[in-house]
Amino acid sequence: MLAAAVVLTGCASVTPVENQETDSAPPSSSSLVPPADSAEWASETFGTFDEYTSSGTGELRVELPAEVAKARSGIIDIAYDGGAPLTLWSEDSAGALGMILLDTSIEGYTADPTSFNGQTMWWAANEPPSALLVEADGAWEVTVRPIDSAPQLPESGTGYGAYLYDGPGGAFTGVKPDTGVGMSMTEYRSGADGIGGGETPYEAVSEQRRDADFRGELAAGPSLIFVSQRGEWELDLP
């Protein structure tokens, strides 16, 4: 499978793939052989598992079910209300800390670092977590879900979120009232030519600004799209 990323004009410096390398050229659309729909494609591409929820207060290690660690990618819903920023780490099968999945001290995630209600995820380029390490001083809840449970990309929303896309692709425009930070959208789609070994996102647009208006271009679905913006956003989709 091939991964592709779209980062919008009008973007921030905070994106969920900031630690990954990117390919220099987009994949050929002629190589695409999509399944029936994005949910089926997501299940085949990333794997699936039963939803798992854990809650607590303060610093805690959350052991994940074995089936979660077999999935190449997954969504994490996070609700937090505390007195200091929250940091969420992944932990690999050997017990070593991996990626920082969320750090609310980064202004791109939330205007209030002591509160968060949104999503993050682990990507196919990284080892799936066997556990999560929560560093916080307040009450939190995390829910781990498979990619195939994501809803279709809407024309409006609020905050960070993962979506599936079955559309035809093409140019689109959008608007976000919060100009304090930028916005990005990352798209992973199916393909067969193996650019990046199916793991590395393609960064189609790298110019990053904080303008209220933005534009970009989506590949034809089925695909996974992650929207990164702490406030409200609207899209005029193709």
Judge whether 17 lies within some domain.
Answer: no
> What is the share, in percent, of the chain residues with pLDDT greater than 90?
43
User: DSSP letter at 72?
Assistant: S
pLDDT 10s digits, 73-130: 999 999 999 999 999 999 988 888 889 999 999 887 888 899 999 999 998 777 889 9
Residue 12 resides in a domain: no
Higher pLDDT, 58 or 176: 58
**20: left (phi > 0), else alpha (psi -120 to 50), else beta?**
beta
Q: Who's near 19: CB < 8 A, 6+ residues apart?
A: 99
Residue 41 and residue 225: Cα distance in Å, rounded?
13
Q: What is the CA radius of gyration of the chain?
A: 17
145 domain-assigned: yes
The most distant pair of C-alpha atoms in the chain lies apart, rounded to whole Å, by: 52
Task: Kindly state whether residue 83 falls inside one of the protein's structural domains.
Answer: yes
- Residue 16 domain flag: no
Q: How many other CB atoms are there within 10 angstroms of residue 67's CB atom?
A: 13
> Does the residue 209 lie in any domain?
yes
Token representation of residue 38 = 């994005």
CATH number of 106's domain? 2.60.120.380
Buried b (16+ CB within 10 A) or exposed e, 110-120: beebbbbebbb
Structural domain includes residue 162: yes
In a domain, 141, yes or no: yes
Name the band, by pLDDT with cuts 50, 70 and 90, for residue 195.
very low
> Which region among 124-128, 162-166, 221-225 has the lowest average model confidence (pLDDT)?
124-128
Q: Give the number of domains in the chain.
A: 1
Is the per-residue pLDDT at 24 higher than 50?
A: no
Per-residue pLDDT, 191: 55
Considering only CA atoms, which of 113, 123, 128 is closest in space to residue 70?
Answer: 128
- CA–CA distance, 162 with 138 (Å, rounded to integer): 25
> What is the H or E stretch that residue 61 is in?
strand 60-63
80 and 115 Cβ atoms separated by less than 8 Å:
yes
Average pLDDT, the chain: 78
* Residue-level pLDDT at 15: 40
> pLDDT digits over 168-184, tens only?
988 888 888 777 777 78
Provide the whole-model pTM. 0.79
Residues spanned by the domain of 65: 29-236
Q: Tell me which residue has tokens 């559309």.
A: 167
